[in-house]
Structure 1
């Protein structure tokens, strides 16, 4: 009987110690605001309204495409940082191009249930006459929300071609943070 009582008391101390270690009082009070949004909390797509469409028919300047995230969960959540974006090309020679980040500083975005936030992808379109090896023809975008590992697969709806700079140090096609 004494050994059972000792075992129960020891178990209670271990459980109590674990609970105190897992959620210290200072951490519980310091945690304010909603937790981050997970891929399962969101839906995503390209903004396709007339004022949001990239100017893919021109080749003299950069243009922007916008990807949106909508909170479809039943809770408020936050997004902060850069999405991950891999473009998959339509040509066999295109392969996959992982876009680099701009130097803009991210801000924390709070998304209530049903709220939407977007981010822009700056693109440098090229003329049809550009040599094939110098152009990337987008087909799909794999878009991963900030701090997540699961992605959305979005079909590129705008046509056109981008100057292929997937190996450049400072390419003219890049990502901006969520909310900016």
Structure 2
């Protein structure tokens, strides 16, 4: 009988200890930190300044374009992972190309009000003389922030064309995570 009473007394102490250590809901939310950024919290665009523009006129190597997200909300939020990027082509043979992701590991970026972060898209440009069926001519980019379902529609401002590899396992055109 003594062991049953000891067990009941210990159980009462554990329950009492747990109740005493509980954190009030208001304090728990204050300690939780920022939540993820939603599409409505952000604005987006292509980085177009001097050295940010991709070298679409050359065809000897890959080049990069950069897309930025700016937190336009009044709260701090986080972005982590890969944006979704679908390129919409201007030729009738282009269609829409959902870009593959690089093997780089994402990091969490914390954005205060007005803070900006970007990500890069690695592109493999081709010559204008490349046959239509082998090239993709970008017109618009549908850009969805990480973990969201609503996208921004951005017009491609740089001209040029990309080697069409929309079905390739390791295409020369792909995207990197936000912040890298």
Correspondence 1:125 to 2:125: yes
Pairs within 5 Å for 1:1-180 = 28=28, 32-180=32-180
**Which consecutive aligned stretches of 4+ in structure 1 deviate over 6 angstroms post-superposition?**
none
Measure the CA separation in 1 of the matches of 2:96 and 2:23.
Answer: 47
Measure the CA separation in 2 of the matches of 1:45 and 1:108.
Answer: 20
Measure the CA separation in 2 of the matches of 1:152 and 1:164.
Answer: 23
- Partner of 2:133: helix, strand, or coil? helix
**5+ residue gaps, structure 2:** 1-21
Root mean square deviation of aligned Cα: 1.7
Please list the CA deviations of residues 82-139 of structure 1 after superposition, one character each: whole Å capped at 9, or x if unmatched. 0000000000110000001000000000000000000000000001111111000000
Measure the CA separation in 1 of the matches of 2:168 and 2:117.
Answer: 29
How many residues align? The count is 157
- Partner of 1:51: helix, strand, or coil? helix
Alpha-carbon shift at residue 148 of structure 1 (Å): 0.1
- Partner of 2:40: helix, strand, or coil? helix
Question: 1:3 corresponds to which residue?
Answer: none
Measure the CA separation in 1 of the matches of 2:160 and 2:128.
Answer: 8
Measure the CA separation in 2 of the matches of 1:95 and 1:128.
Answer: 18
CA change 1:26–1:175 in 2 (3 A) is farther
Structure number with larger C-alpha Rg: 2
- Partner of 1:91: helix, strand, or coil? coil
Measure the CA separation in 2 of the matches of 1:167 and 1:30.
Answer: 46
Measure the CA separation in 1 of the matches of 2:65 and 2:71.
Answer: 20
Please list the CA deviations of residues 64-84 of structure 1 after superposition, one character each: whole Å capped at 9, or x if unmatched. 000000000000000000000
So what's the TM-score if we normalise by structure 1?
0.84
**5+ residue gaps, structure 1:** 1-23
